[in-house]
């Protein structure tokens, strides 16, 4: 095999109480990439559509992640990468992580899978530095592994995949504004109060327990963020109203997707998800800012090969 076409799914990171450690993988929303083995060593990005992104390998998240993987191998080959972006940059649903994860997944496949998907997370994180200035796995882990993922620790990297409760649906409202991850991180305080920390880790533990036991009420009670959301929500017009509408329409919980500006809601079942999507759309329409709305089941497979 000398060429591979792959689907790189969108993701929701943080999930309210899990800043930089929790994420989930979406179904049907994502980028496509073609990766080709060539004789010349190194990585070249030869095609990008759907976004104005750099072609220079060292400035592109896919290139940086791919080089990190190649540096850990004895490959005698190089690779060409084509990127077909369908996740808008700065949308808050893992645009950069899709490129980073897709690059390492595709190169790994063409090399005969020297690394597991869990091991690929480490290399994909290197690409995230280009986008956000820091290595974090809360998007690249679910993008590669699928389902929900928990990053238990970074030194050493320890990622746990959690199977998705079968009735969970995600609604994502994506305003057509950009909030850069680096800017969104700049508004956060480096310290938090002990009271807030206790509340946050209680919610995180409750959410993980709810996922493992399929306890949807516990999941809903735990989707609370007392640390990051209060600092970031002013960056998203009408955030409070959109969240309020989502909860009143039956969402288990709602919050900021990743660094924003997308707003997500988790719901039990498609019927409730459709109602929540309509309610969130009605609330955001007041801003006169264009937006997209997505309803998605969770993707338990993650990044995958496609043939069409």
Give catalytic residues, as residue numbers.
128, 181
Residues 6 or more apart in contact with residue 87 via CB below 8 angstroms: 10, 29, 30, 31, 93, 94, 95, 98
Categorise residue 53: left if φ over 0, alpha if ψ from -120 to 50, beta otherwise: beta
Entry field: residues in the chain: 308
Q: Tokens 């937006």 sit at which residue?
A: 291
Structure tokens at 228: 């990051």
**Using an 8 Å Cβ cutoff, are 67 and 105 in contact?**
no
**Distance of CA 51 to CAs 27, 86, 106, 252, Å?**
21, 8, 20, 33
Angle between helices 61-70 and 117-132 (to 10 degrees): 140
DSSP letter at 291 equals E
């Amino acid at each position: 095999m000398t060429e591979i076409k792959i689907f790189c799914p969108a993701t929701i990171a943080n999930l309210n109480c899990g800043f930089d450690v929790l994420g989930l993988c979406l179904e049907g929303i994502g980028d496509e990439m073609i990766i080709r083995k060539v004789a010349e060593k190194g990585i070249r990005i030869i095609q990008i559509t759907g976004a104005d992104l750099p072609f220079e390998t060292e400035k592109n998240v896919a290139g940086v992640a791919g080089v990190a993987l190649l540096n850990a191998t004895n490959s005698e080959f190089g690779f060409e990468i084509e990127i077909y972006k369908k996740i808008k940059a700065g949308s808050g649903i893992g645009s950069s992580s899709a490129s980073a994860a897709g690059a390492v997944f595709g190169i790994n496949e063409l090399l005969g899978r020297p690394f597991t998907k869990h091991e690929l997370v480490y290399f994909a994180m290197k690409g995230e530095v280009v986008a956000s200035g820091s290595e974090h796995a809360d998007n690249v882990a679910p993008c590669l592994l699928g389902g929900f993922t928990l990053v238990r620790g970074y030194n050493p990297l320890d990622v746990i995949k959690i199977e998705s409760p079968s009735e969970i649906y995600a609604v994502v409202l994506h305003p057509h504004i950009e909030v850069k991850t680096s800017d969104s991180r700049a508004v956060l305080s480096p310290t938090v109060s002990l009271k807030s920390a206790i509340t946050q880790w209680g919610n995180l533990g409750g959410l993980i327990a709810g996922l493992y036991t399929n306890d949807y009420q516990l999941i809903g009670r735990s989707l609370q963020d007392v640390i990051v959301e209060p600092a970031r929500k002013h960056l998203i017009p009408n955030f409070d109203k959109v969240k309020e509408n989502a909860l009143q329409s039956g969402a288990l919980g709602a919050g900021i997707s990743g660094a924003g500006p997308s707003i997500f809601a988790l719901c039990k079942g498609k019927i409730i998800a459709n109602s929540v999507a309509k309610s969130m759309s009605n609330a955001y329409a007041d801003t006169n800012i264009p937006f997209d709305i997505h309803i998605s089941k969770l993707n338990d497979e993650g990044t995958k090969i496609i043939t069409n």
